[in-house]
Structure 1
């Protein structure tokens, strides 16, 4: 039996097709790869892992990959059944209730917006270093704002331009950055012969005498976890993807698989290519220093310049998915100023107001660095907290929905967990909860947790004073969308409870 048309499926959920459904499977895969961004992950996470637990931090990467594979199974199963923009809100909202959907969606917004803001800030530092600019906080903030503004303008213009630029950037990342890493490996192992032995990968390095080592090692795993966030990003543009229910689960697994292989390869190569571990102590750009020592400083500058384009694509892609979540929640009247935030440009078929709104929030986050650089660092840490809160709330909601018999049936030709659904949910809930607890309780991240709890308290205040009355009147949530866009015969997944 053939699948019904994607636009018809969208109408069954209570929405009209207003966005530009132009994304094919290649662009879907490349978007997922760009949001994960192997280059950004390694350039930002390498120094953290090495300084925290020494070279042995690299063996936390397979654990991180397994955690995200479990999430990809869950997300792939869901997007094949509920192919809607703003997955972080939509899935929980429709299977459990709009109140649960609100808190899940809010956590997703925190993760996405703080995530692309943080990446822009990191990119600004690399831009300054490449141009030889003495980086002060005001200069780094200014460059970051320019980067975010540039991405806002591209996303406002349309998804075709955004995905085209994304495809070019990822192509450069796969060919040039990966090629440069292989070149460094060739120089280190076959030309200069100046490299570390394999046993170096199992050494603890200088951890400052902190014990027990297992706690230090687990803390270092968070750097690898940051590097795989966003594997489900393709789900956020489901309403702009052709044959979304078949395509997106496949591209999720492709993005995770390729990213994991590329990142692990880069981590291992750069660890073994270290000539003098002591020379990297306190380095702000250890990857560039390693490349410079093995090849030449000029070659390092070229690689960093290419890496900057990859990081820019990461900002662009993360902003794209953040705006779709904002649009999806506003379309259901779940946000303040929802009427404005759900507007779609007739010319470009993009949620232009939502794009500008996420950009403005990003500017506000960047300006907090004027108050305290440390406070800004805490906000960056909230990205992972936001993502894993989404994972925990979604998986908990799925277990509840399954118990209530509210999970939609799989369709022929689409990905479906079948009898493995409950075991995968349970394993996933345990894994995601452990990571979330680590992010909240490990000493190095406790302050992030305090800031994150405050942001969730703000979400609870809006739910109590503004959203709950709307839900009680039926003026928000999926039922609001159905009332605004009545259709004949609704999908079973549109029924909601609270």
Structure 2
């Protein structure tokens, strides 16, 4: 078969698959299966994410929690990925989780459940944009004012919006470069750091694997549970490829494998990075946590490599990860978020949906939803002027809101009678893994509500439960609002083949 005929046949297959879900093909399928996988992997960003989450692991067990916490949490995250992968194979559409929820739930409650999932996903995607750009906008070794940080943050949001508006082809091709950068940086830390670390800072296997260092004030058992938030924060956003389903070739197979492979690769690389850091950080765990540098990983590098080499490697981390890779992670989050918003608007579930559901004739992208998400990100970033705890609670919502969205379609597959067909990704007995995934997510959502220390003030309290509760309250209130609420007009996914579908 000639390349031309093969391409035509693949395009016809993609259109047929999407048509079976009720939608016509509107995007160009620029992402190859490999690029769909590396998109999810780059959204995880192993090294910069670990840099940001060591504050959760070190006080709640030290090197012990860094190694064992990661090793224990990752199999549960793989269960979540496997459960989502089969759903993605059956419904490869930009709507993703909220579309799956509607398809699998009972007619009595599917409108409401898909509304909640869609609201959670839109919020989580917006927060992921905020979190990614927030990490890219500041170097934690320097003290800057809130005004300066927000100015940098706003500039990055706007530049990301411009980049994402001009099409996905360039972003698709660049995914391989960013993945290579991520992997190389991981191996630098895994291989070079142990070689360069002086004997005084090399820890014994007994200290790393058997000695528990508790600096949090919580009982040791619960402190270790809190340390599990570090891998959960790091290996998040793997559903990014789901929302690019209508722009990926061979999506019914490529997207499930993108989810699973990104989790597995990140798990192994992250474990390697944590093991390397744990064996090279020395026994003064408290000193690393409270060092004048203000960044645990930076202090570990300083102790192991000395000032010049540590500064060189830290600059490499900043330049390749925070400036380049994290910038692209932020762009990818905005890219993915705009597609989720587009899908929700396509089904009439957002105000001004007829204006948001539009493909720009020049760029062939949903420019309106790109700028809507960017504007929401700018608004949420203003919480940095309220308090550090307020913006941190918002970042935590990126995980908890995502878990709410994950739990619902996984549960509805078994809670209601439906004709679920896993299509081209079938790996075995689904129910036990799905049950483990759901129980794990419910448990960890509760854990995310606890403060870092039992001795906390009103200002230092963890406001995640307040923010999540507020979002759920607004979503439910909007749905049941008299006259104008979604209960009166939202009917779930709408086929855009129908003549009455508004554009």
Q: TM-score, normalised by structure 2?
A: 0.87
| Between structures 1 and 2, the one with greater helix share | 1
Tell me what 2:300 maps to.
290
Tell me what 1:135 maps to.
144
Say which of 231, 256, 264 aligns to 2:263.
Answer: 256
Tell me what 1:87 maps to.
96
Of stretches 300-309 and 455-464 in structure 1, the one that deviates more from structure 2 is 300-309
Query: Could you report, residue by residue, the CA deviation over 1:64-108 in whole angstroms, capped at 9, with x for unpaired residues?
Result: 211211111111111111110131221112222232111011111
Query: Could you report, residue by residue, the CA deviation over 1:251-270 in whole angstroms, capped at 9, with x for unpaired residues?
Result: 22211111111111111111
Distance 2:161 2:290 in 1: 34
Tell me what 1:231 maps to.
238
Verify: 1:66 aligned to 2:82, yes or no: no
Query: Could you report, residue by residue, the CA deviation over 1:163-185 in whole angstroms, capped at 9, with x for unpaired residues?
Result: 23333222211124432442112
Q: CA 1:98 to 1:159, structure 2 compared with 1: closer, same or farther past 3 Å?
A: farther
Tell me what 1:21 maps to.
29
Query: Could you report, residue by residue, the CA deviation over 1:207-252 in whole angstroms, capped at 9, with x for unpaired residues?
Result: 15x2421111101111111111122321111100101111122222
Distance 1:302 1:265 in 2: 19
Say which of 106, 117, 121 aligns to 2:134.
Answer: 121
Aligned partner of residue 32 in structure 1, secondary structure:
helix
In structure 2, stretches of 5+ residues that fail to align are: 1-8, 454-460
Distance 1:332 1:316 in 2: 25
Contact 1:72 1:253 in 2 (8 A): yes
Verify: 1:221 aligned to 2:206, yes or no: no
In structure 1, stretches of 5+ residues that fail to align are: 487-498
Contact 2:29 2:248 in 1 (8 A): yes
Distance 2:175 2:500 in 1: 33
Query: Could you report, residue by residue, the CA deviation over 1:404-434 in whole angstroms, capped at 9, with x for unpaired residues?
Result: 1x133243xx11256x122233222212211
Q: CA 1:197 to 1:427, structure 2 compared with 1: closer, same or farther past 3 Å?
A: same
CA RMSD of aligned residues (A): 2.4
Tell me what 1:384 maps to.
399
Contact 2:56 2:229 in 1 (8 A): no
Query: Could you report, residue by residue, the CA deviation over 1:125-144 in whole angstroms, capped at 9, with x for unpaired residues?
Result: 22x74xxx641121112112
Query: Could you report, residue by residue, the CA deviation over 1:293-332 in whole angstroms, capped at 9, with x for unpaired residues?
Result: 2222432323332221232222222222211111110000
In the TM superposition, residue 468 of structure 1 has moved relative to its aligned partner by 7.6
Tell me what 2:247 maps to.
240
In the TM superposition, residue 442 of structure 1 has moved relative to its aligned partner by 6.1
Aligned partner of residue 136 in structure 2, secondary structure:
helix
Tell me what 2:115 maps to.
102
Aligned partner of residue 5 in structure 1, secondary structure:
helix
Tell me what 2:320 maps to.
306
Distance 2:199 2:51 in 1: 24
Tell me what 1:161 maps to.
170
Distance 1:152 1:162 in 2: 13
Q: CA 1:72 to 1:316, structure 2 compared with 1: closer, same or farther past 3 Å?
A: same
Please give the residue correspondences for 1:320-469 in structure 2 after superposition, counting only pairs within 5 Å: 320-401=335-416, 404=417, 406-411=418-423, 414-417=424-427, 420-440=429-449, 446-465=462-481
Aligned partner of residue 18 in structure 1, secondary structure:
coil
Of stretches 176-185 and 134-143 in structure 1, the one that deviates more from structure 2 is 176-185
In the TM superposition, residue 147 of structure 1 has moved relative to its aligned partner by 1.9
Q: TM-score, normalised by structure 1?
A: 0.88
Tell me what 1:150 maps to.
159
Q: CA 1:468 to 1:370, structure 2 compared with 1: closer, same or farther past 3 Å?
A: same
In the TM superposition, residue 454 of structure 1 has moved relative to its aligned partner by 0.5
Contact 1:41 1:263 in 2 (8 A): no
Tell me what 1:494 maps to.
none
In the TM superposition, residue 156 of structure 1 has moved relative to its aligned partner by 0.9
Distance 1:37 1:303 in 2: 12
